Amino acid sequence: MKTKNSAHLKNAVLGFAVGDALGVPFEFKARDTFKAADMVGYGTHNQPAGTWSDDSSMLLATLESLIECKKIDYDDIMQRFIRWVDNGDYCPYGECFDIGHTTLTAVGRFKNGYDPVRCGGRGFGDNGNGSLMRILPIAFFEHTVDDILNLSSLTHAHEISLMSCRLFVQLAENLMSGMTKEEAIQNLKCCVDECENIPKIASFPREKIRSTGYVVDTFEAAVWCLMTTGSYRECVLEAVNLGDDTDTVAAVAGALAGIYYGIGSEKGVPEEWINKLAKLDWINGLIDKGITAQ
Ligand SMILES: [Mg+2]
What is the distance in A from the centroid of ligand 1 to the CA of 57? Answer: 9
Q: Per the domain annotation, does 251 fall within a domain? A: yes
CA distance 251 to 254: 5
> Number of folded domains in the chain?
1
What is the distance in A from the centroid of ligand 1 to the CA of 113? Answer: 27
Q: Per the domain annotation, does 1 fall within a domain? A: no
User: Is 0.95 topped by the overall pTM?
Assistant: yes
What is the distance in A from the centroid of ligand 1 to the CA of 54? Answer: 5
Residue 11: CATH number of its domain:
1.10.4080.10
What is the distance in A from the centroid of ligand 1 to the CA of 170? Answer: 23
What is the distance in A from the centroid of ligand 1 to the CA of 35? Answer: 19
Q: Per the domain annotation, does 160 fall within a domain? A: yes
- Which pLDDT score is estimated for 1? 61
What is the distance in A from the centroid of ligand 1 to the CA of 73? Answer: 24
- Which pLDDT score is estimated for 159? 96
Q: Per the domain annotation, does 115 fall within a domain? A: yes
What is the distance in A from the centroid of ligand 1 to the CA of 294? Answer: 31
In three-state secondary structure terms, 46 is coil
Q: Which of 269, 181, 270, 166 is nearest to 223 (CA)?
A: 181
What is the distance in A from the centroid of ligand 1 to the CA of 223? Answer: 18
What is the distance in A from the centroid of ligand 1 to the CA of 42? Answer: 14
Q: Which of 160, 185, 159 is nearest to 172 (CA)?
A: 185
C-alpha dihedral (224, 150, 148, 84), degrees to nearest 10: 70
Contacts of 128 by beta carbon, 8 Å cutoff, 6+ apart? 100, 101, 102, 103, 156, 213, 214, 215
Q: Per the domain annotation, does 91 fall within a domain? A: yes
Name the stretches of the chain with pLDDT < 70.
Answer: 1-2, 294
- Which pLDDT score is estimated for 294? 61
In contact, 49 and 272? CB cutoff 8 Å = no
CA distance 140 to 6: 7
Q: Per the domain annotation, does 129 fall within a domain? A: yes
Residue 114 sits in which domain range? 6-292
- Which pLDDT score is estimated for 2? 66
pLDDT in tens, 119-154: 999 999 999 999 999 999 999 999 999 999 999 999
What is the distance in A from the centroid of ligand 1 to the CA of 178? Answer: 29
Q: Per the domain annotation, does 77 fall within a domain? A: yes
- Residue 121 DSSP code: B
What is the distance in A from the centroid of ligand 1 to the CA of 82? Answer: 17
Q: Per the domain annotation, does 243 fall within a domain? A: yes
In contact, 201 and 182? CB cutoff 8 Å = no
